[in-house]
Amino acid sequence: MAGRKRKTPKWVDGKPSFDDMPVHYQVEQAMLAERLLAGLEEGRLTLNEPRQHAAARTALRALLAAEHAEHERPVAEWVDAQLNAASRTKLLGALRQERFRASRGIRQVALKPSEFQQLQILRERAEQRRRAPLSAPDRAMLRELGAILPPHLTEVVSVPLYSHTVPAGQPAPADDDIEDLIDLNDYLMPRRDASFLVRVKGESMVDAGIRDGDLLVVDRSRPPVDGKIVVAALDGELTVKRLSTRHGRVQLLPANPAFAPIDIDEGCELMIWGVVRNVIHSL
C-alpha cells in the first residue's frame, strides 16, 4: 500500500470502532468515494501516478458499487495508497473542518464574497465576546493542524529587568539597578488559557519580522481586525498572513513580494484561529 501500513480498527462490544483512526476512515465511504471522483475530475486532487487518473476513477467506481464488510474501509485505504501527500493533507484537513463545523452546528452556505466577509467578521466578533479558554475540541483540532499547545503553567518564571536600556552602539557600564521582575509566561503569553504556539515554515512573512523556524504566540482573545497578522486554517492547513478586509473583500496578505495575496471567497475553507501576539526566534 505505497509505504503505508494497513490500518485496522479496534473492536468495541463486538463492533469495529474507527474513533482512533484518521478522519477519512471515520466518514461514510460512499460519500468519500463520490468526493474523490469529483476532485479527480475537476483536477483538485492528484495521484502518486498522475497518468493513472482514468484507471483510478474506474477503481473508485468499482469500490463504490461493491459491498464491503463492516470493518473494511477500502476507499480510505485507496486514499492512503493513491493520493499524493499534498492532496491527502488537503482532503483530510477539509474533512476535519467539516466534522468540526458539524459538531458545533455550523452550516455551510454559499455566499457572495461581500456577504462571506461580513459573516466571517460578525462571527469572529461574537465569539470574541464570549471566548474563554480553548475548549477540548479546539485543542484537539489545533493539535491535528500542527499547533503547539502550552501546558497550564503554574510556576512563575521571572527574570530581572534592569532600569537601563542597552545601547547598540558604544558599550555602557553595567548597572545593578533592577527596575522590575518579569514573568516570561505573562510577558509572552498573557492569555495562556486562550493561546497556542505555531512554528513558521517558509519565507512569506519575512518583511513583517517573521522568519522560517520562528515560534509564534497566537492569542484567540484578540479580535482579528483588518491589518492584524493572523493564524488561519485555510483548506485544512495552518497559515500565517496579514488579514485584509478592505474594498469589499477578504484577503490574506504575505509580507514578501515574492508571494501573491490569497483571495478568500465562498469556495475557500477558512477559519481564523487567532492573532499573532509575539514572535520568538533564535539568533
- Give Cα 128 to chain centroid, integer Å: 19
Q: Select which of 204, 221, 228, 282 is catalytic.
A: 204
Q: Which three cell numbers stand for residue 122?
A: 460578525
User: How far is residue 144's CA from residue 10's CA, in Å, rounded to a whole number?
Assistant: 21
Q: Which three cell numbers stand for residue 185?
A: 509566561
- Alpha-carbon torsion (107, 109, 115, 120), positive or negative: positive
Calculate helix-pair angle for 85-103, 29-41, nearest 10 degrees.
130
Determine the straight-line distance between the first and last CA of the chain, rounded to whole angstroms: 43
**What are the residues whose beta carbons fall under 8 Å from the beta carbon of 73, sequence distance 6 or more?**
7, 9, 18, 24, 25, 29
Has 241 been annotated as catalytic? yes
Q: Select which of 15, 241, 244, 282 is catalytic.
A: 241
240 beta partners = 231
Has 103 been annotated as catalytic? no
Active site residues: 204, 241
